[in-house]
Amino acid sequence: MGRTEGANTDNYGIYTEIRSPSGRGTIFGIYAKAEGNSSSEVYVGYFAGRVGIGSDPSNHYIFPDSRGSEGR
């Protein structure tokens, strides 16, 4: 993993693309598992910055910066 400063293009720490229309079974772009005991703070992922999820850049959801109130 490198460091990129001042670039005018897209930059990825990790980029995964699976393109197999004949693929069978469960296909994961990224799979992560984290285990620990009850006194551990265990995270399968931690993101410091904006997080978006979706099918492509024009159809996505950006998670809010804060957690919001309980039950939301």
Per-residue pLDDT of 4-22, as tens digits, reads 666 677 777 788 888 877 8
Give how far the C-alpha of residue 24 lies from the chain's centroid of Cα atoms, to the nearest Å: 23
> What pTM was estimated for this model as a whole?
0.55
pLDDT value, residue 57: 78
Range of the domain at 55: 1-72
d(CA 22, CA 66): 40
pLDDT value, residue 61: 92
Q: Looking at this protein, which amino acid is placed at residue 42?
A: V
- Give the tens place of pLDDT for each residue, 27-53: 888 889 988 887 788 888 888 888 889
Nearest to 49 by CA among 63, 37, 60: 63
Q: Answer whether residue 71 shows pLDDT above 70.
A: no
Please, what's the largest Cα pairwise distance for the chain?
44
In the chain, the number of structural domains is: 1
